[in-house]
Structure 1
Amino acid sequence: MSYPTLLYYEKDATLYQGETYHGERNVESLQNYVLDRLNTDAQTISPSDWDHDGLRKKSWLLLLCAEDTDSCPEPETIKKLASIFEGLIPVGIINDPKLANSIYKKYKEQPVVFWEIKDSEDTSDKSTSTAEVHNIEASDTKEIVTKVLSLLPDPQFLNEESFKDIRTQLRLGSEESWLICFHLGAATDLNLQWKRIPAWLPNMKLGLIHCGRSASLCASLHVSHYPAWGVLKQMGAFELYHGRDILHEIVAFARESSQSTNLHALSPAEFYSIIKEGGAWFIDWYAPWCPPCKKLLPEMRKASQHFTPESVQFGTIDCTLHSSLCSYEGIRAYPTTRFYNGSKIHHFHGVPNEQGIVEFVENMLHPIVTTLDEDSFIQLQRKSEEQLWIVDYYAPWCGPCQRLMPEIHALAKQLSNFEFVRIGQVDCTVHSNICHSQNVKSYPTVRLYPLGSKGLNTVAMYNGHLDVMSLKKWVLSFMPGTVVKPLSGKKFHKAVLSDHDHYKPWLVDFYAPWCGHCVHFEPEFLLIAKTLDGRVKTGKVNCQEEHNLCQEVNVNRYPTVYLYLSPNERQEITSQVAADVVQEINSILTRRFRDEL
């Protein structure tokens, strides 16, 4: 509400978890406020801890602060050091003079030391290691940090030749991905960041490339700012990082990218090679500054992990770097995502997340919804009386059409048991002649061409909600077969609870009209009834009207579904997913048939 307002965020805090600062606006007050909230601190080490807990077997920044030491760092400095080196090396305080003397004899004058553990040079004996003590002649926080960092291992410096060698090894099957930093000038500013990373990415190698010395390599990888970060991963794919220069975000990207070996950053030459070869590719055309693009990229990485390169590969094209290519390919908005398969291009308009992408790609590889064009529309024009068609006429730019897209695919999956059902889609921006001939004037337009009619002679228009439950209920109403019978108390007793010859099992849905779950379950139950037609009879009981009956059969929640195998034997069906219910009932009936035999 006022400016400046200072908010303090703990690690991993959300946007709304900032704590307002109300103190004095000077350096000392601000510093004390922050230090009070840091939950990292140095570990006090006793002689027994050092000898028996194995602490001596790892590297430490040690503060030898025995009683006879006058020059030990201030508590404020110690806390700063513990926070700065968190996740890199532990900071320990030793108060015991004898232990301090055994570690470094000049501890009284120089109490800050770096205890470095070095692996044995004898490669045949990997169990032994030696400690080397480095005295740190400094008392100021920055000086201590700088000197300790200078003693830690540097990342591997790479040039054009070594980069190509690494990429070749990855293409030949090497599994060690690389996180590479591209920089200009001295890399001293990167020291703290770089030297934290090995603890967080133990399974990745780290490299440093100086773009002044390897200018052609950096240009070929489209590195345009410094420092820039990229991941070179298994199979040789390379991906640049486009996020903020914040360590934990870089590390998260590196982990995610190294696992997404099926995602490639593409150049124009690689794109044209893909088009020429004709393989299956899902490609994201994006701009790094575009917020929706930034959200989509991690979803692309996760989605790519669901597929092998043999089935489909994933690519990204940066339109700020390759503007001519993007312009030539008609990319006018970011992100634009397309599925390329030979000469055919399909636009992605589903939900822009991992699940939405996976579902779209799976449908492209194994179509359950037919994409209708001038050639394939003849299938609908020649529709037989034994087929039922549902067709979605849409425009890619239309918001409701985009929301309907995953619902149509879900509908196709849920109706896949009915071999006579066909579901198609027509892109009216590409195939305007079809839509004009069918007098389609708004998007989306969903039409049903029912059983018993030929071609386009009979059509039903859909005007309901654009969700899979509503669509399914509408479609099922056009299907013949067993109708779910409404059962009153009298009818229920006579049909379900009366023992007679040739008793056929009953599946009964006990519901209440005001129950939301019952409303959602209704089309599922209708689908179950049609799928099991001939094996069971199906009925429904309105417990608001038949209150006494529902009490009699101990129904006290809705919906409740019982399978009556006989008037005296029933089993409750708890699932409300049609496919699961059908599978369960078929299994029960099969077991019962075997028992009877």
Structure 2
Amino acid sequence: MCSHCHYLAPTWKEIAKLLNGIMKIAAVNCEYNRQLCHREGVRAYPTLICYGKRSQHGEHYTEEKSQEAIMRFALDRLNIHISEINKMQWELFLNHEIITQRPVLIFICDDQQNCFTSDERLIVAATFDKLIDVRLYICEDHYDMYREKVRAIYLPMYSTSYKPVFFNSTSDINTLIEKLWEQLPNPQELTDNDFDIIKRTEFNAAWLICFYIGDSENLKDLNLQMKKFSISGINLGIIHCGKNGQFCNKLGINRYPVWGMLKPGGAFELNHGKATNNDIIKFVQISIKTTNLWALSAEEALSILQNKENEVWFLDWYSPRCPPCIRFLSELRRASLKFDASIVRFGTIDCTVHTMICHHHNIQQYPTAMLLNGSKTYQFTLQKTAANIIQFINEKRNPSVIELTSENFNRKLAKKKSKIMWIVDYFASWCAPCQRLASEWIAVAKSLSSLSFVNVASVDCEAEASLCASQGIRSYPTIRMYPLGSEGLNTIALYNGQRDSLSILTWITKFLPKKIHDLNPSDFQRMLEFSKYIWIVDFYLPQCWHCQKMEPEFAIAAQLLEKVKFGRINCNFYMNECAHIKVFPTLILYKPKQKKKNRHDMDNISIVATTAEEIRDEILKIINFRIKHDEL
């Protein structure tokens, strides 16, 4: 509805064409994305914002909204510099007496700047950044042979076939760019044998490989397209699947053209995303980092599934035609970056290619993920995010939730002592609310892990149907507490609240031994004047979310420190005692000084902590410092 936006639109499209392959140009419709626009500080339309290395939080454009001015603003932020060479350097370049790591393009101008514009030169330099070094030579000699005829010269890297290329009739910058792409070396044609040799011997090599079928005309087009994927440190290869059909079938290639990454270390992965240039470049940039993610062949998958290798694997069974599978692949890549291959390897199995393997292992939906550790298989049933994958693997490696089965239930829980508390989640792996609860339950277990008398456990009622039936479990998830003071299964408390970690923790801490004193003004004054103990007081507001989050952590910390008194003051009721409090919650530690006239003055120190362990550690640090100070 904005007339100024309509006026800018054709200019913006032209800028997008000029900066194609150099800078991503985007548009946000603020009528449909109001929250995003508000968050980014958009107050008027159109608003132009540049995001990049120099402006991570967005740099607003405030100049004239013309094509020239916007282009100048954009090019200035590319951080591209074209150095000027003198006549001596010019002659050295021509005589190939300067050895360079990359080809060189030299723009030639006369003293009247009769050549490509500075913006056009910057566009070329940015397009071929780290592929071609760009220089500028200004001819001062009016009769120089290059003044009228040559506008640029391309010098390939020195070799026996070294031959400069002169551009003397090229006036259009896009034509020059296309001709420069043609000058760069074509991708290397590979065979199945070449692929295996690279995989076995070139452990630090990274290859982007295009698999194709077709004639020489197709090859010519693909060569040109692949050159545009040139990234420093990436080798380019091409494999004809008509000539290497058996090998392509082994890799699971069933469409053409398709791009794959052979990564440092030998892992291989196919691109299942969009086939646009930008998407393939993005795939390359991500895939080269994820050296611990392998697209498995039939032989590799069978070897892992039959437990022939003594390795831990996280396997993703998927179909490239399934959109949730493609989204999960990107999450899987991110998760794989957090683990060394010596701890756990990540593998993908394409069920459109390895149909028999998927059928044999009863894979009925996509994506299906599981962790294989020797003879044990753990199904991944959490939401398909990188954070949940990481949490799931860490939990299986170092469990914080005890898994109860028919074998250990009686030994561990049925014979429970009165000084021990158990909290148990009875769940079924197919149950969606159970899946949502799983990560919250792990968070509960981790928060309570410092309390030796509290055990957090779970029972898979799909695997342990008879056990759950004997306990009268009729719905999932069911959360039961077997509290302190009771033995065995005699006493049960049922949880019926919201299934998030904070709500569950707050409920559990109500059953812990009471160690926190609710202070009123007179209690607080007596503490300040006469207490011989160290006190830590939580100043809070009941309606404050951060205060609610602190409540269970504060209760757990109170269980960890026997010689420290814990108190809370409700600042809704006792505003005078909270007058000095600026933010909620605030934790303040009070420790008594030496007696003066039969009363104690209390030192007070603010505690900055958010978890029970942090509160404990901060208090111990202060107490230990005081003891050392007194001894000194």
TM-score grouping bracket, smaller chain normalisation:
0.7 to 0.9
1:107 Cα deviation from its structure 2 partner = 5.9
The aligned length equals: 556
Paired position in structure 1 for 2:405 = 373
CA distance in 2, matches of 1:433, 1:483: 40
Assess if the C-alpha contact under 8 Å between 2:419 and 2:485 holds in 1: yes
Map 1:75-86; keep pairs closer than 5 Å: none
Question: 2:280 — aligned with what?
Answer: 250
Matches within 5 A, 1:420-499: 420-480=453-513, 482-494=514-526, 496-499=527-530
Identify the residue that residue 317 of structure 2 maps to in structure 1.
285
Aligned residue for 2:595?
Answer: none
Distance verdict in 2 for CA 1:524–1:253, change over 3 Å: same
Deviation sequence 1:466-523 (CA, Å, 0-9, x none): 111111111122222x4210111111111x21246xx110010111223222122111
After TM superposition, give the deviation of residue 190 of structure 1 in Å.
2.7
Distance 1:342 1:294 in 2: 28
The 3 A distance-change label for structure 1 pair 35 and 195 is farther
Counterparts of 1:342 and 1:437 in 2: how far apart (Å)? Answer: 31
Check whether the contact 2:211–2:241 (CA below 8 A) recurs between aligned residues. yes
- The alpha-carbon distance between structure 1 residues 35 and 448, as it changes in their structure 2 partners (threshold 3 A), is same
Supply the distance in 2 between the matched residues of 1:261 and 1:285 (Cα, whole angstroms).
19
2:486 partner amino acid: S
Counterpart in 2 of 1:595? 629
Instruction: After TM superposition, give the deviation of residue 395 of structure 1 in Å.
Output: 2.4
Q: Is the 8 A contact 1:88 1:196 kept in 2?
A: no
What does the per-residue CA deviation read over 1:96-138, in whole Å, with 9 as the maximum and x for residues that have no partner?
5738x75xx36635x45442142478xxxxxxxx983434666
- Indicate the larger mover: 297-306 or 54-63: 54-63
Match of 1:108 among 148, 151, 155: 148
Contact 1:46–1:95 (Cα < 8 Å) also in 2: no
Matches within 5 A, 1:210-225: 210-225=240-255
Question: What corresponds to 2:195 in structure 1?
Answer: 163
8 Å contact kept, 1:69–1:107 = no
Code of the residue aligned with 1:459 in structure 2: it is I
- Could you tell me which residue of structure 2 aligns to residue 517 of structure 1? 546
Q: Contact between 1:285 and 1:334, CA under 8 Å: does it hold in 2?
A: yes
Residue 401 of structure 1 aligns with which residue? 434
Instruction: Please say if residues 82 and 135 of structure 2, whose CA atoms lie closer than 8 Å, have aligned partners that are also in contact.
Output: no
Q: Distance in 2 between matches of 1:91 and 1:41?
A: 15
2:395 match: 363
Range 346-355 or range 279-288, more displaced: 346-355
- 1:335-388 per-residue CA deviation (whole Å, 9 max, x = no partner) reads 111111222221112242222111110111111112233323333233333322
For the structure 1 residues 376 and 47, does the alpha-carbon distance in structure 2 shift closer, same or farther, using more than 3 Å as the test? closer
Is 1:348 the counterpart of 2:383? The answer is: no
In structure 2, what is the Cα distance between the partners aligned to 1:67 and 1:78?
Answer: 17
**What's the offset of the Cα at 1:424?**
1.7
TM-score normalized with structure 1 length:
0.82
Q: 1:459 to 1:298 in 2, by over 3 A?
A: same
**What SS does the corresponding residue of 1:430 show, helix, strand or coil?**
coil
Aligned to 2:85: 50
Asked if 1:571 corresponds to 2:583, the answer is no
Q: Which amino acid aligns with 1:380?
A: L
- Counterparts in 2 of 1:213 and 1:344: CA distance versus 1, 3 Å: same
* Structure 2 gaps, min length 5: 2-8, 17-22, 33-65, 94-99, 593-600
Superposed, 1:270-349 pairs within 5 Å as 270-275=300-305, 276-277=307-308, 279-349=311-381
Alpha-carbon separation, structure 2, partners of 1:453 and 1:485:
25
1:400 is paired with a residue whose SS is helix
| Aligned equivalents of 1:91, 1:579: Cα separation in 2 | 57
SS at structure 1 position matched to 2:316: strand
| Closer, same or farther: CA 594–64 of 1 in aligned 2, 3 Å | closer
Deviation of 1:329 (Å): 1.6
> Following the alignment from structure 1 to structure 2, what is the Cα–Cα distance between the partners of residues 573 and 365?
33
In structure 2, which of residues 181, 185, 191 is the aligned counterpart of residue 149 of structure 1?
Answer: 181
Contact 2:540 2:585 in 1 (8 A): yes
| Residue 176 in structure 1 maps to residue 215 in structure 2 | no
Q: Is the 8 A contact 2:250 2:298 kept in 1?
A: no
Query: How far 1:434 sits from its partner (Å)?
Result: 2.4
Range moving further from structure 2, 442-451 or 267-276: 267-276
Q: Percent identity?
A: 35
Q: Match for 1:49: what amino acid?
A: E
**Secondary structure of 1:521's aligned partner:** helix
**Deviation string for 1:12-42 (max 9, x for gaps)?**
456735999xxxxxxxxxxxx9999767889
Q: Structure 1 residues 54 and 544 mapped into 2: Cα distance closer, same or farther (>3 Å)?
A: farther
Which residue in 2 is equivalent to 1:98?
141
1:417 is matched with 450
Distance 1:229 1:34 in 2: 36
Is 1:581 aligned with 2:615? Answer: yes
Shift of 1:232: 1.3
Instruction: Pick which of 371-380 and 504-513 moved more.
Output: 371-380
Aligned to 2:259, the other structure's residue is in SS state strand
The separation in 1 between residues aligned to 2:470 and 2:227, in whole angstroms, is 66
User: Within 5 Å, which residues of 2 pair with 1:58-77?
Assistant: 59=103
Aligned partner of residue 98 in structure 1, secondary structure: coil
Question: Is the counterpart of residue 508 in structure 1 residue 527 in structure 2?
Answer: no
Equivalents in 1 of 2:565, 2:233: separation in Å?
59
Match of 2:574 in 1: 546
Q: CA deviation at 1:225?
A: 1.8
Shift of 1:398: 2.7
Partner SS for 1:236: coil
Q: Counterpart of 1:562?
A: 588
Aligned counterparts of 1:441 and 1:113: Cα–Cα separation in 2: 80
Determine if contact 1:339/1:345 at 8 Å carries over to the other structure.
yes
In 2, the alpha carbon distance for the partners of 1:596 and 1:68 equals 82
Amino acid at match of 1:180: I
- Give the match's secondary structure for 1:497: helix
Tell whether the 8 Å contact from 2:85 to 2:135 is kept in structure 1 after alignment: no
Question: Aligned with 1:295: secondary structure?
Answer: helix
The amino acid across from 1:221 in the alignment is L
- 1:406 shift after superposition: 0.8
